[in-house]
Amino acid sequence: MKNVYFIGIGGIGMSAIARYYNVKGYAVSGYDKTPSPLTHALEDEGIGVHYTDDISFIPEDKEETLVVYTPAIPKDMGELVYVQENGYRVIKRSRMLGEIATGQRCMAVAGTHGKTTTSTLVSHLFTDSGEGCSAFLGGISKNYDSNLLTHSNDVIVAEADEFDRSFLQLFPEIAVITSMDADHLDIYGDEAHIVEAFKAFASQVSGTVIVKHGLDITPKDTKAKIYTYAYDNPEADFHAEPLENGHFNLHYPGGVIEDCVVGIPGWVNIENGVGASAIGLTYGLDPQKIRKALASFSGVKRRFDMQVNLDGLVYIDDYAHHPNEIAAAISSIKGRYPEYRYTAIFQPHLYTRTRDFADEFAEALSLADRVILLDIYPAREEPIPGVTSEIIFKGITAPEKILMKKEELLEYLQGQSLEGRELFITLGAGDIDRLVGPIGKLLTEKHDR
């Protein structure tokens, strides 16, 4: 095999694997629907990327070419149909990651939310401690400006994605399960089948599985040793004992790491830090090196990502696209800035998710003082009759709410004055990220006038 060709190369998981094979010296290229900062970064690294569905870009030598695709690509997409019908070896991204991880010491993080920050934290603990690891991440680490880390040892950190049951391709030595909430119901049908899939994942862990306290993973589900973790719950094997100003003592079965702090704000990130530290401590990393690494963690782009932090004005961007994620983000940051007026700007992601959780979205968003709700980002889906952002909007009970198109947002914010202490957060997994820079610039200019 000389060539690795990616259909959907701009996806966060796909691009990490593309970078891996590029580093290994293969000829890497691929297709994506639209240009993005990530595809431009791939091109800068010498990877060929094109944006039209055109089979002429596919390497002609079938015997020496591996094609990797994401299930987010439509099944009738021309390039995908061509390689499937013309003798190429074609595999899904999840299978590719499973093949890379085979024979290595896999540290995996699974969960319907929290897995990107937690897995990025794990990779930072290993790297900063000097142990090292290779890592395939679901976001861009701000410490390393990449979603891929490489090392010569046999430790691999992987974000274990439940979408399309992808995580069942992994057989970890140590794993964390952060959450098992109902999500991706277009694939699973109901919550029971999601829980069933996570139990199947736990059964594939060979050494230790560390689950969020309260999750239904029991010894009958896995042969691995089971530990629990939590933010502030002494019943959990690994837990934080909160101190002042975001500091905490980290309790674990072997003792206590005193006066820890995570480099990014919010109780939810302390909890992610506890889960990541549980992997590091179970593996055998030095506790004081873990303490140091937690403090130097800079976060992940689009995960509690501080864009503006001025006197009386804070703007954070977050990838939250599930009601529980939104509630956690708002409550976590409100604890840090209790006297601020809180504006949540949310772009729903997928028609099916909006349909399935409209009431829950409304309840979570109502924790804010003002809600700006945008149109649904469809991603891979076709519209569903009767499913619009309006079905969320009507249930929001925040003191102030407004419904608008994404294209109207900047003009609306331009016409608003800053009143006292203001905190803004953008939420969503769609293309709202394209507005993050302009929003930050606009708010900063308003503050400085």
Per DSSP, the residues of 108-149 read: EEE-SSSHHHHHHHHHHHHHHTT---EEEEEEEETTTTEEEE
pLDDT tens per residue across span 207-221: 999 999 999 999 999
* Tokens 């995960």, located at residue: 303
- Comma-separated ranges of CATH 3.40.1190.10 domains in the chain: 102-295
Q: What average pLDDT does this structure show over 338-366? A: 95
Handedness of CA 138, 144, 148, 152 (dihedral sign): negative
Distance CA 88, CA 82 (A): 9
Flag whether pLDDT at 71 surpasses 90. Answer: no
Token couple for 113? 């939310």
* Tokens 């997928």, located at residue: 350
DSSP letter string, 193-205? HHHHHHHHHHHT-
Flag whether pLDDT at 143 surpasses 70. Answer: yes
Distance CA 78, CA 325 (A): 36
Flag whether pLDDT at 328 surpasses 90. Answer: no
pLDDT of amino acid 336: 81
Distance CA 273, CA 314 (A): 23
pLDDT of amino acid 182: 64
- Comma-separated ranges of CATH 3.90.190.20 domains in the chain: 305-448
pLDDT of amino acid 155: 98
Q: What average pLDDT does this structure show over 378-400? A: 95
pLDDT of amino acid 166: 85
Q: To which CATH superfamily is domain 102-295 assigned?
A: Mur-like, catalytic domain (3.40.1190.10)
Cβ atoms of residues 346 and 374 within 8 Å: yes
Cβ atoms of residues 122 and 163 within 8 Å: no
Residue 448 pLDDT level (bands cut at 50, 70, 90): confident
pLDDT of amino acid 113: 84
Flag whether pLDDT at 188 surpasses 80. Answer: no
Cβ atoms of residues 79 and 53 within 8 Å: yes
Distance CA 194, CA 424 (A): 33
pLDDT of amino acid 304: 83
Flag whether pLDDT at 363 surpasses 80. Answer: yes
Q: What average pLDDT does this structure show over 126-151? A: 96
Token couple for 248? 């905490």
Flag whether pLDDT at 189 surpasses 80. Answer: no
Flag whether pLDDT at 185 surpasses 70. Answer: no
Residue 206 pLDDT level (bands cut at 50, 70, 90): very high
pLDDT of amino acid 380: 76
Residue 333 pLDDT level (bands cut at 50, 70, 90): confident
Residue 3 pLDDT level (bands cut at 50, 70, 90): very high
Task: Report the mean per-residue pLDDT for the chain.
Answer: 94
φ/ψ of residue 344, rounded to 5: -105, 125
CA distances from 97 to 17, 88, 339, 413 (A): 7, 19, 45, 42
- Comma-separated ranges of CATH 3.40.50.720 domains in the chain: 3-93
Rg, C-alpha atoms of the chain: 22
- DSSP class of residue 349 equals B
pLDDT tens per residue across span 411-425: 999 999 898 899 999
Q: What average pLDDT does this structure show over 353-358? A: 94
pLDDT of amino acid 193: 87
pLDDT of amino acid 184: 59
Flag whether pLDDT at 187 surpasses 90. Answer: no
pLDDT tens per residue across span 8-29: 999 999 999 999 999 999 999 9
Distance CA 274, CA 228 (A): 10
- Class of domain 3-93 (CATH, top level): alpha beta
pLDDT of amino acid 89: 96
Cβ atoms of residues 109 and 115 within 8 Å: yes
Q: To which CATH superfamily is domain 305-448 assigned?
A: Mur ligase, C-terminal domain (3.90.190.20)
Distance CA 155, CA 178 (A): 21
pLDDT of amino acid 181: 79
Q: Which of 90, 104, 122, 127 is nearest to 1 (CA)?
A: 90
To the nearest 10 degrees (0 to 180), the angle between helices 267-283 and 323-336 is 100
Residue 96 pLDDT level (bands cut at 50, 70, 90): very high
Q: Could you give the residue ranges of the DSSP H alpha helices within 307-435? A: 323-336, 351-365, 390-393, 409-414
Flag whether pLDDT at 266 surpasses 80. Answer: yes
pLDDT tens per residue across span 235-255: 999 999 999 989 999 999 999
Flag whether pLDDT at 183 surpasses 80. Answer: no
Q: What angle do CA 153, 156, 162 make, to 5 degrees?
A: 175
pLDDT of amino acid 374: 98
Handedness of CA 234, 237, 243, 249 (dihedral sign): positive
pLDDT of amino acid 186: 64
Token couple for 429? 């997994």
SS3 165: helix
Handedness of CA 251, 254, 260, 264 (dihedral sign): negative
- What is the pTM for the complete model shown? 0.84
With pLDDT > 70 as the criterion, what percentage of the chain qualifies? 98
Residue 265 pLDDT level (bands cut at 50, 70, 90): confident
